[in-house]
Amino acid sequence: MAPSGVMSTPPNAPKVLIVEDETDLLRTLEYNFRQAGFEVVATGHGRRAMEIAADQMPALVLLDLMLPDVPGTEVCRHIKADPKTRHMHVIILTAKGEEVDRVVGFELGADDYVTKPFSVRELVLRARAVLRRAVPAEQEAVLRIGELSIDSSAHRVQVAGREVIITALEFRLLWTLASRQGRVQTRETLLNDVWGLHLNVETRTVDTHVKRLREKLGTAGTLIQTVRGVGYRLTTEQGTD
């Protein structure tokens, strides 16, 4: 039993790393996420955040962009570039609310983007939603399409038996297209289902990620076809875009 006044962490609690240099907000987030059943580690510095991410492997990182030493964008880029940490979920916290800032965050591989001021209760709910945003258990554990193999439980992608390293966001994009094989997915549908974004303006976010995914998939990249003026679909036959 935990000592009086000390909150105990539930067994198998998801670990969240909170990176925020505003002390009052950091303490508020620490308290509320512990109350919500998370294991919490926290720091106000970007360099320390990168060390903690590599050492403690949190499931989720709440990342402020305006940090005193290293910009949050650089922290996110570092996490997503390291094979050891690239599958961590990242929610960006920032006072910047312009669409271009949101798109930059998603281009870096962030899973969600929350603009200050925000409701802490809503942030906790969004954090849980991001952690649940895996492939539904009732779907096939492995999808095989031509030389492409996608294993949802192991979070592995192979092309002709060769493992391809992709980010968690790219994996969700690929699985979404593969599990809806042959059906056209509009950019708006993909923004909603993969990124959780509801935008009424055109962005290049989907196109940029599809381009990167195709490059990583190599010969299997041609399975993802562009439907001009609409979106994308994944087919069973490799060809040209």
What is the total count of domains within the chain? 2
> Are 52 and 132 within 8 A, CB to CB?
no
* Domain ranges, residue 199: 142-234
Statement to judge: residues 147 and 128 lie in one domain? no
CATH of the domain at 61: 3.40.50.2300
Tell me whether residue 73 is in a domain.
yes
Statement to judge: residues 113 and 20 lie in one domain? yes
Q: Going residue by residue through the chain (241 aa), what tens digit of pLDDT does each one get?
A: 444 444 555 557 889 999 999 999 999 999 999 999 999 999 999 999 999 999 999 999 999 988 999 999 899 989 988 888 888 899 999 887 665 566 677 777 788 888 888 999 999 988 988 887 654 444 557 889 999 999 887 778 999 999 998 887 888 899 999 988 999 999 888 888 887 766 555 568 889 899 999 999 999 999 999 999 889 999 986 655 5
> Are 65 and 92 within 8 A, CB to CB?
yes
Domain end among 132, 161, 183: 132
Whether the model pTM is above 0.85: no
Handedness of CA 27, 32, 34, 38 (dihedral sign): negative
